Structure 1
Amino acid sequence: MTNPQQDNEQQQFRPLEELNYEQARDELVEIVKILELGQMSLDESLNYWERGEELAAYCERYLDGASTRIEQALEHREAGDDADSEDYED
């Protein structure tokens, strides 16, 4: 059973869906710095570590999506280049 007072003392973080990639990355960098100091209780450290894991996964998904968009744009461009080169062959 959790201590209600302890729950109130835990760091409150912004919901991930409110963050863009840069904000999530910057928060992750700050969390790493905080954890490296090692000056928190175990519960606080776990809370920050869990948040860091969430942020890392969010950033990875964001970058995967960006990579997919780039690949699709390149494929679209190449398909257009192929169509253009066929026009010149006639």
Structure 2
Amino acid sequence: MRSPGSHTAAWLTDATAEALAGGGQLRQALRSYRRAHRFIDKYDALGRKEALAKPPDALQRAVRTAAVSDPCIARRLAMFACGQRSLRSCSTPG
């Protein structure tokens, strides 16, 4: 299992690699990274809340309900929980 810091490094690499390699817009890539990192931090806090055995909130219940009936959501949720989804794929549909 990787440490949280290594996940952050991997996400930053995913977000900026194309801009750095191809001379793209680094500022835009970093903005995208920050936005997605805030998203991930928010859901990490939800996971920690769940680990403390507190009752799930409305968002957690909605995601779980959707995952039960939609195999695509279930797969994405499982991959995100296992750290197998990249930053870019966590914050975009599909």
Q: The TM-score by the shorter chain falls in which range?
A: 0.3 to 0.5
Structure label with greater radius of gyration: 1
TM-score between the two structures when normalised by the length of structure 2 = 0.38
Say which structure is richer in helix: 1
TM-score between the two structures when normalised by the length of structure 1 = 0.39
